[in-house]
Chain A
Amino acid sequence: DAGVTQSPTHLIKTRGQQVTLRCSPKSGHDTVSWYQQALGQGPQFIFQYYEEEERQRGNFPDRFSGHQFPNYSSELNVNALLLGDSALYLCASSLGLAGVRSQDTQYFGPGTRLTVL
């Protein structure tokens, strides 16, 4: 049973560039949430996708956008990269919008480490 997978593992970009991160949810899950975790901080919620639509969004600018595909996989896009976007980007999957409230139903991927120079 494949867990949550993310690609790439590491990425280095320069300011002003654009980046796309990818996530495949755990088998059987249909909801994907994205988080940004700066060094020494807790993860911060970016947005959540369900049925190919953005359902909830955290306090992030429009430079952060996403997409969910029919197979439930998801992409996170960040435009006009800033130095402050350097962080670990985590994807978490769950079953349905209500699934995330139940114990042990939100699984995290290993993350993508983004460095902006």
Chain B
Amino acid sequence: GQNIDQPTEMTATEGAIVQINCTYQTSGFNGLFWYQQHAGEAPTFLSYNVLDGLEEKGRFSSFLSRSKGYSYLLLKELQMKDSASYLCAVIASGAGSYQLTFGKGTKLSVIP
């Protein structure tokens, strides 16, 4: 089975930096995704990590440590529009196919 943990809620100030952590336990690991989801909308892709290290994409960066089963999403220069849920999801292989398993999401509130 797979287990993915991330904080339920976080609050941060506009212009600040926030780090959202994700820990996972899975077999057949094939990569980790971060998605952003605004209320009532579909998840949108933010980042993908399959090798250890940091991937930077503009204001967003994602880190992966496979040996520790740990990832984080770093958001810089926070804007009010960054208020959303952030979903950590792990790709695992099995029976010749791949399955995406999501954590419960971290609801980020950005305050002025």
Residue on B with the closest CB to A88? B40
Interface positions, chain A 85-102, Cβ under 8 Å from B, are 88, 90, 92, 97-98, 100-102
Shortest B90–chain A CB gap in Å is 11
Verify B98–A97 contact, CB threshold 8 A: yes
B87 in the interface (beta carbon within 8 A) = yes
For A98, list chain B residues within 8 Å (CB): 98
Inter-chain contact A45/B42, CB cutoff 8 Å: no
Q: Are B42 and A42 in contact (CB under 8 A)?
A: no
Which residues 57-106 of B have a CB within 8 angstroms of A?
87, 89, 91, 93-105
Q: How far is the CA of A87 from the CA of B47 in the complex (A)?
A: 26
Sorting the interface of chain B by its residue count into under 10, 10 to 19, 20 to 34 or 35 or more gives 20 to 34
B101 touching A90, Cβ below 8 Å:
no
Between A and B, 30 residue pairs with Cβ closer than 8 Å are A35-B102, A41-B105, A42-B87, A42-B104, A45-B102, A48-B99, A55-B97, A56-B95, A88-B40, A92-B100, A100-B91, A100-B98, A100-B100, A101-B30, A101-B31, A101-B93, A101-B98, A102-B48, A103-B33, A103-B45, A103-B47, A103-B50, A104-B48, A106-B100, A108-B43, A108-B44, A109-B42, A110-B41, A110-B42, A111-B41
Using a CB–CB cutoff of 8 Å, the interface residues on chain B facing chain A are: 4, 30-31, 33, 40-45, 47-48, 50, 87, 89, 91, 93-105
